[in-house]
Amino acid sequence: MEVVITDSEEEIGVLVADAVEQLLTDRPDAVLGLATGSSPVAIYDELVRRYEVGRVSFARARGFLLDEYVGLPADHPERYRTVIDREIVGRVDFPPGAVQGPDGLAEDPQAAAVAYEQAIHDAGGIDLQILGIGSNGHIAFNEPGSSLASRTRVVALTRQTREDNARFFDGDVDAVPRLCLSQGLGTIMEARHLILVATGEAKAQAVQQLVEGPVSASWPATVMQHHPHATVLLDEAAAARLERLDYYREAYAVKPRWQRL
């Protein structure tokens, strides 16, 4: 796992946009895994800037969301399908239908989960997966205790996650859905490159566990230690509890630039 400590969220945006731009240059029909929430916003803003000046195109790319709330009405502004359209899909040239999310309004959510796994498989799998991390160590909505081999399924959100996400629902924790459909840890681990971004002090403990803790379902993101190509980009606050902080800085400073992320 590579750890990159940056000066700012904007720098994270630039570095991850570089990786996405390179991928789309090499493979214009690449499959992107798109996270929602606050963490990827700087990445999406940077990608939109590059699209606007003609540096990058999504015209042949496809995308898959990590997760979706169960039961939020189609026109709800916090439905992840709506959020991702607002943050990136509607601002660049993804063709209609090129970005999919799990169907949180399906009558049979478990069947929708199985169909979603099949859709990812049929697309040839995800080339580059962007991830955030919850303060409790979740990735997608794989809450603590999730099987490290889990697949897309219905998950009950923890109180902690619902409190963390209440800021998107006017601070009302009761307005945050209790259930979601989430890619599993086993699903995420099949993506060819995982890029996790985290900023702010509230993520420091989860980041410390992710990078230096034992692999455990108690901190679901730790499964990424088993991934052959995982990159973690942090700001100073999120990196503050890492024991090997100096080493990560040195390793990145001497890294040959041709290696990229």
Residues within the interface to ligand F6R (CB under 6 A): 35-39, 66-67, 132-134, 138-141
User: At CA 234, angle to CA 35 and CA 17, rounded to 5?
Assistant: 55
Give the strand pairing for 31-34 and 128-131. parallel
CA distance 229 to 128: 10
Nearer to ligand F6R, 57 or 216 (CB): 216
Closer of 63 and 134 to ligand F6R (Cβ): 134
Q: Which is nearer to ligand F6R, 14 or 60 (CB)?
A: 14
In the bound state with ligand F6R, the residue whose beta carbon lies nearer, of 12 and 24, is 12
Q: Please say which residue, 19 or 101, places its beta carbon nearer to ligand F6R.
A: 101
Shortest distance (Å) from residue 53 CB to ligand F6R: 27
- Indicate the residue whose CB is closest to ligand F6R: 132
Distance between CA atoms of residues 220 and 226, nearest Å? 12
Which amino acid is present at 146? S
Total residue length of the chain: 261
Q: Do 261 and 4 form a contact (C-beta atoms < 8 A)?
A: yes
Closest CB 134 distance from ligand F6R, rounded Å: 4
Q: Give the other-Cβ count within 10 Å of 69's Cβ.
A: 23
**Least distance to ligand F6R from the beta carbon of 101, Å?**
9
Mutual angle of helices 41-52 and 9-26, in 10-degree steps: 50
In the complex, what is the shortest distance from the CB of residue 196 to ligand F6R, in angstroms, rounded to a whole number?
9
Q: How far is the CB of 63 from ligand F6R (least distance, A)?
A: 12
